[in-house]
Structure 1
């Protein structure tokens, strides 16, 4: 791949939404090096994409977003490989923990730690390896917006510290609410980053993306047997009915993967926007609260910085 001039990095690209987005992007950009990053690649997703397309431009790299050491090791490995600059960064991976509160190896509540903190650290550390012109897409969810009546408990953001280290007052909150709140964090962080990009001399854009409801994906892997069965076997067969009864924003993973690829490869200069599929729409009322955006940004930078110099680099987007 020595002649490749650009790279694209996709987290969570080994299955579901990310896999289909990676496949579409690899097909449309055969001259670009595509890296799919997840904890594991049991189904050899990168090989499957290369075989399907008759290409060799997709590679898997291990990344555990719930482990800060793993994120740092991933970026070090990226640097050692001397890969082409990143023109598209898809912060796509996400997990849901519906049961009792769980924690990452670093002691953060898992939903917040994986869906937000791990991605934020990846972005900050990978910046030096991004192209002069780059697009960042953060996969959020319509569940972050109470007005969409998704069926999940409404997102509730008080402080980032409370989300990271739940106190007795929130320790027993519904795990599904932790998920919808983490998706709100994705949008808050997107807007906070966009505001900072507008202040510096970088040709980077950042947007948030809602893939819609996608029955059959691995999101329900931690649910009980019955709910997993309904999610994986029953609901995928009822997509036309779900679209009529619930919302048109119900898709197969392949459809949503195509939409994510479209948003990622959009060559317009749109930034600081929220996409439902390929359509720009307003995000939730809370997502525009700059106090919440700044609380999240500042907590994240303070928590992740390994020293004063790194904190300054993170703040200055260098």
Structure 2
């Protein structure tokens, strides 16, 4: 049976928070595209909620198992127009590990996405875009209140040893968000070479959604911290913009800005760029270090290494 839709757009962590609102805006813009929200589970039937809200039928939930592409190929989804790498979590306490033995913050936000790109690369349309959700916390100059990002090697992030085992979980998060930007710039150079050789038109952009209290990002915080994050802070956004950072937004607003990077023209967005909301800005000084983008020189495998199986299952 021929595919019903013209193209596919896949959004990780798309069942709630930033990913959900990105999917809402993208699905509205592209009713003839298959919008796939990928996560470990969809307990709130988010795909049905999106379809009902739009009176459409183009959003579908896909349980994501990175150990196999069988479900993608069995469903015969049309070529991929865009991959939105949004899934992330913070683990503020002691270091936690994924099922594969990787530090969990790094596994969810980076390793899983790098693996997913490698698996789905053959399914990309000739004109395709990758959008990577990073964070302003990757840049010490922004003084976000998070511990400064510090990148020593990909191997050390994946398998912390010695002193790095004692690093604050929030610091591991900001460092992983730096890796997201490094990876985006490395992909950009590869895309330029691929485009020149094959005639394809692949682009990549990184995105800072800003400070968004109320999302599921702090799922593993203490009960009091979750209460403040979910119930108190979302009600005082104007004060937070004044006291903390003007880059403070509702998840609805940031979801719309993320969707913009998916649906706007290449002339508007470009490639190899970093965005804070709708604005193209410079990322951190450290993010432009090409040695770190490509290979840190002290560990193998490369910065964008992957495992045979990793988990992508939550939202920013």
- TM normalised by structure 2 equals 0.92
Q: How does 1:118-197 map to 2 (within 5 A)?
A: 118-197=112-191
Per the alignment, residue 260 of structure 2 pairs with: 262
Q: How does 1:64-83 map to 2 (within 5 A)?
A: 70-73=65-68, 75-83=69-77
Per the alignment, residue 289 of structure 1 pairs with: 289
Per the alignment, residue 97 of structure 1 pairs with: 91
Residue 28 of structure 1 and its aligned partner are, at CA, apart by: 1.0
Query: CA 1:78–1:293 in structure 2 vs 1: closer, same or farther (change >3 Å)?
Result: same
Residue 302 of structure 1 and its aligned partner are, at CA, apart by: 5.4
Which secondary structure does the structure 1 equivalent of 2:302 belong to?
A: helix
Cα distance in 1 for partners of 2:87, 2:42 equals 13
Residue 305 of structure 1 and its aligned partner are, at CA, apart by: 7.3
Which secondary structure does the structure 1 equivalent of 2:194 belong to?
A: coil
Query: CA 1:136–1:215 in structure 2 vs 1: closer, same or farther (change >3 Å)?
Result: same
Query: CA 1:190–1:225 in structure 2 vs 1: closer, same or farther (change >3 Å)?
Result: same
Which secondary structure does the structure 1 equivalent of 2:165 belong to?
A: coil
Cα distance in 2 for partners of 1:45, 1:128 equals 28
Q: RMSD of the alignment, in Å?
A: 1.5
- For structure 2, the residue ranges without an aligned partner over 5 or more in a row are 310-316
Deviations 1:153-210 (A, max 9, x none): 0000000000011112210100000000000000000001101111123310001000
Per the alignment, residue 274 of structure 1 pairs with: 274
Which secondary structure does the structure 2 equivalent of 1:138 belong to?
A: strand
**Contact between 1:111 and 1:182, CA under 8 Å: does it hold in 2?**
yes
Cα distance in 2 for partners of 1:205, 1:78 equals 22
**Contact between 2:155 and 2:301, CA under 8 Å: does it hold in 1?**
no
Count of aligned residue pairs for this structure pair: 299
Query: CA 1:304–1:50 in structure 2 vs 1: closer, same or farther (change >3 Å)?
Result: same
Cα distance in 2 for partners of 1:148, 1:163 equals 22
Query: CA 1:225–1:150 in structure 2 vs 1: closer, same or farther (change >3 Å)?
Result: same
Per the alignment, residue 22 of structure 2 pairs with: 21
- For structure 1, the residue ranges without an aligned partner over 5 or more in a row are 64-69, 307-318
Cα distance in 2 for partners of 1:60, 1:78 equals 12
Per the alignment, residue 47 of structure 2 pairs with: 46
Per the alignment, residue 234 of structure 1 pairs with: 232
Query: CA 1:200–1:21 in structure 2 vs 1: closer, same or farther (change >3 Å)?
Result: same
**Contact between 1:95 and 1:114, CA under 8 Å: does it hold in 2?**
yes
Cα distance in 1 for partners of 2:6, 2:39 equals 24
Which secondary structure does the structure 2 equivalent of 1:96 belong to?
A: coil
